[in-house]
Amino acid sequence: MKFARIAAGLAVGVGLGVASFMSSALAEDTTLRITLQLPMKSHLGQNVALFKEKVEDLSNGEVSVEIYDSAQLYKDSEVPQAVGSGAIEMGVASLTRYVGDVPAVDLFYMPFLLNNEELVRKAVAPDSPVRAPLDEAILGTGSRVLWWQAYGGVVLLSKEAPLKTPADIEGKKVRVFGKTLGEWIKAAGGAPTLISGSEQYIAYQRGTVDIGMTGVSGVKSRRLWEVMDTITVTNNADIEFIVVVNEDFWQGLPEQHRAWITQAARESEQDVRDRMASIEAEAYAMAKDNGMTVYRLSDEEVAAWKAAAQPVYDQFKDDAGELGQKVLDAARNLAE
């Protein structure tokens, strides 16, 4: 009887041990749900798909990724709260969506400050004196920045005629996607209207706004030639998206999983940055093929837009405080 009890006890112990091992093994699997406002055919969608492929390959399936594109779960404006609160593990949002908590992020929308690829690359490098303080500040919202996604320079969209000078937008409603971009439009005499990326097509179609604002890659992915016919290449700001993960979730992951995710994120960031010039060139070509006129500002016309922009810098300094001044000085130093 004693032997039987011991055998039974061992069996139970082994059973519990196996169950514990299996539970532990199952706990090692990680699922990342990512919300994205753009369609999968967009270059940001393709970039997230690349991340999924890389991290699942690196982890041999221990880390899996589920992508919810086209704002199925959350609009762009809702992503910071959704990820920061832990409602979803990861999300993609325009950098400017963090302006409420970190006003300094709108540095990238300061008129004509980072208006060429060389300056942008220096500014967005992970250890740059521009990006690093912003990533650290965003961490305070409950989200960790995993990588930045290039979206290109700003363009304006219109019907029938290009927008050569601020006089061409005076009194007109202009779609914007950030506070500082709105200040720029206001300083130039227009009426800014905040509209998310996923809603801009219908806004142009219905005439909710007179003028559009986006990156040229968005013209391609959203087929905006169906509702607008002219692109004015202002390149007044650099559009950046960021991919964030909930910080509490991140800290709860096994160290090896964090390493795999970090490696995949870095490779994905480099890929989209390196392809941005060709992505934009392809988008411009497709826009033209679909009947759009592409107008590039002359030096004199750029000067007219710049002249109207000074109030934006004054407002930024007031709103963004010490951190804003720090990253603004760092950005200006990049050009020296």
Q: What are the extents of the domains in the chain? A: 30-334
Residue 287 has pLDDT above 50, yes or no: yes
> How sure is the predictor about 16, in pLDDT bands with cuts at 50, 70 and 90?
very low
Neighbours of 298 (CB within 10 A): 10
Long-range (24+ apart) CB contacts under 8 A made by 319-325 are 319/103, 319/179, 320/103, 320/104, 320/106, 320/107, 321/103, 321/104, 323/102, 323/103, 323/104, 323/133, 323/137, 324/103, 324/104, 324/107
Length of the chain: 336
Share of the chain above pLDDT 70, in %: 92
Instruction: Decide if pLDDT at 303 tops 50.
Output: yes
Q: Has residue 254 got a pLDDT over 90?
A: yes
Torsion angle of C-alpha atoms 40, 43, 49, 55, degrees rounded to 10:
-160
As a whole number of angstroms, the distance between CA 324 and CA 315 comes to 11
pLDDT at 6 (0 to 100): 36
Instruction: Name the average pLDDT for the chain.
Output: 90
Of 23 and 268, the one with more pLDDT: 268
Residue 94 dihedral angles phi and psi, to the nearest 5°: -60, 140
Instruction: Answer for the pair 328, 317: CB distance below 8 angstroms, yes or no.
Output: yes
Give the separation between CA 336 and CA 332, rounded to whole angstroms. 7
Interacting residues of 26 by C-beta distance below 8 A, sequence separation 6+: none
Residue-wise pLDDT for 159-197, tens only, equals: 999 999 999 999 999 999 888 899 999 999 999 999 988
pLDDT, tens digit, for every residue of 102-123? 999 999 999 999 988 899 999 9
What's the CATH fold of domain 30-334? Answer: D-Maltodextrin-Binding Protein; domain 2 (3.40.190)
CA distance linking residue 207 with residue 201, whole number of Å: 10
Rounded average pLDDT over 276-287: 93
